[in-house]
Amino acid sequence: MFENKKILVCGMARSGQSAALVLRRLGAEVTATDLKAEISWDYNPEEEGILQKTGQTPDEIVADYELIIISPGISMYAPFVKKAKTLGIPVWGEAELAYRLCPCPMIAITGTNGKTTVTTVVGEILKRQDIALRRGEGTVIAGNIGIPLTSLVTELSPGNIVVAEISSFQLETISAFRPKISAVLNMTEDHLDRHKTMENYIAAKSRIFENQRQDDICVLNYDNSVTRGMKPRGRVIYFSTKSELKEFPDSACLQNGNIFVKYEQESYRIINISETKVMPENALAAAAITLAAGVSPEIIAQVLREFQGVPHRLEYVATINNAEFYNDSKATNTDAAIKALEAFSNRQIILISGGYDKKTDFTPLAKVISKKVTRLILIGQTAGQIINACEAAGFTAYERADTLESAVSHAKFLAKPGQIVLFSPACASFDMFKDFEHRGELFMKYVKVLAHGDTATQAPAL
């Protein structure tokens, strides 16, 4: 398929490097490009026969190639992408490339929030099913969750199952991509710095099911007005924490705190929501997806009971002076931060928030802050915008910190026994950190250092 084909791979982060390597090993003539002149490679590109043209835009060379592969971080509005399309040169993302190489069924999960948790839970449930059935082939988890799809697909067989977290950025560049089961967990305002409008963002997310057929399955959140209004071609399974969905033959809902899933004219009680750490919305989605994938209710319940959570998502770090510290660095938008605040019945929360500006409206977050937060410490590019929204909501118990480390130190000084210190940025990380993992790891480091130190007697400088 790719032998001797001239292919330009743009963006040499993890997914770009993975795509370049797999294409080269399939016999393509690969050129790797990136705006950065110096790339930290995971392998030796010269030894692999990959030509490098780094430290420059590819605007002047796109016409020399038969296919362009772009990383999720590259906008479809980039001049060289527009030029390639004008010339009739296909532009794919790494997810499209991986799908074309994938020999086995794929489950693809997207949404504004909950993608990583649901992808991880679904993958773990399917892996437990593999063990129970003593299957030689197994389940792999990849995609936007941190493992490039292309790094795995060439080693898979038809008996495998891929569970993939897919972002809106990846969906912008699909063509043939067709998962057997897709899911759109929710849709709230996010990434408007990239997509420009909410309509564009919704359109990108909706592409996850655009190639599905009538015998494919799409799982949708009935409680979210946007996802409820989506019109997939395939079989729809709605899930809801608010409605019993009696009018739908296939659905997942809560009844008296119990997760019930209706599928294939049968109704299954899975688990009481009090038995799992997974948020109800995510647990319902995971149960619906995996029951449709053929997993027994018993195995679904077992994994939901045992699941301990995803790193950087409401992750307990330490208790200092009887105040609990939680890392929620994965909250890269306001809806995720709101869910984090609402996850605690405690109304005595000290919140550390702020970060990279994605052109977000902070009004909904400010309203929740005014009800749940006793003190707000702000960092990053969006601090001023969050302050404006909070003042409009009548909340003024805030201060700014120059660094995350000083914010953590100040939170420790302020925290009283029984309070929660929550780091939930509501923003992306790129103004101050490499990514949300880097941000979360630093938060945990600072907290653990303080947990082993002496109690501050005066407020640290902000």
User: What are the residue boundaries of the structural domains of the chain, listed by start?
Assistant: 6-89, 97-306, 315-451
Helix, strand or coil for residue 203? helix
pLDDT above 90 for 33:
yes
Mean pLDDT calculated for residue range 239-261: 96
Task: Identify each DSSP E strand in 188-297 by its residue range.
Answer: 217-221, 235-240, 251-255, 258-263, 266-272
Give the pLDDT score at 461. 64
pLDDT in tens, 377-417: 999 999 999 999 999 999 999 999 999 999 999 999 999 99
Angstrom distance (rounded) from CA 281 to CA 187: 13
Neighbouring C-alpha atoms within 13 Å toward the C-beta of 303: 25
Give the pLDDT score at 448. 95
Give the pLDDT score at 98. 96
Give the pLDDT score at 198. 87
pLDDT above 60 for 188:
yes
List own/partner pairs for 201-208 with CB under 8 A and 24 or more apart: 201/168, 202/226, 204/168, 204/169, 204/171, 204/172, 205/110, 205/111, 205/168, 205/171, 206/230, 207/171, 207/172, 207/174, 207/177, 208/108, 208/110, 208/166, 208/171, 208/177, 208/179, 208/182, 208/183, 208/184
Q: Does domain 315-451 have CATH number 3.90.190.20?
A: yes
Q: What is the fold, at CATH topology level, of the domain defined by 6-89?
A: Rossmann fold (3.40.50)
136-140, 246-250, 290-294, range with the lowest pLDDT = 136-140
pLDDT above 70 for 192:
no
Domain at 97-306: CATH architecture: 3-Layer(aba) Sandwich (3.40)
pLDDT band at 455 (very low <50, low <70, confident <90, very high): very low
pLDDT in tens, 351-381: 999 999 888 899 999 999 999 999 999 999 9
- Locate tokens 């909340």: which residue? 395
| Average predicted confidence (pLDDT) for the chain | 93
